[in-house]
Each structure stands twice: as C-alpha cells, then as structure tokens.
C-alpha cells in the first residue's frame, strides 16, 4: 500500500506540474494576439484549475505516507 500511495502521489505531482506548464505556455501564446486590457487567463482557466487540483491531491496523499522514524540517541 505504501508503494501505491507513493507512486500515485508522484504521478499526480508531475501531472500537476505538466498541466501548470501547459497552462502558462497557452497563456503566453494567447497573450500575443489579444488587445491590451484583455485577460488571457479566462480562456485557460480549466487548465489552471486542473493543475491546482492535481497538486492539492499530491499534497494530501503525501500526508498519508508514514514518515521514516530516526533512531533515538
């Protein structure tokens, strides 16, 4: 079970990072064609929300993993 949680946590973390990078790239590209004052984030809100959700799930899963106990001196 510990391996499955660690594996799932890693995959959701990297998926969140990839989605965030993709969202930022799309915002950068769409900003070039928009007039001044227009918000490029509105068109890419779903990608930002998915990235945030994946990263939050990754953080929550990291709390369920047991910490390695250090030997007491």
CA-based nearest residue to 24, from 1, 3, 40, 5: 40
Tens digits of per-residue pLDDT, 54-66? 999 999 988 887 6
Residue 52 belongs to a domain: yes
> pLDDT tens-digit profile of 14-42?
999 999 999 999 988 888 888 888 888 88
In a domain, 1, yes or no: no
Domain count for the chain, please give it.
1
Question: Distance between the two ends of the chain, CA-based, in angstroms?
Answer: 30
Residue 36 covered by a domain: yes
The answer to whether the predicted template modeling score (pTM) of the entire model surpasses 0.85 is no
């Amino acid at each position: 079970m510990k391996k499955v949680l660690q594996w799932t946590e890693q995959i959701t973390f990297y998926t969140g990072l990839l989605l965030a990078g993709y969202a930022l790239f799309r915002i950068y590209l769409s900003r070039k064609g928009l007039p001044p004052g227009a918000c490029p984030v509105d068109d890419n809100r779903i990608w930002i929300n998915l990235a945030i959700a994946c990263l939050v799930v990754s953080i929550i899963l990291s709390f369920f993993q047991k910490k390695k106990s250090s030997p007491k001196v």
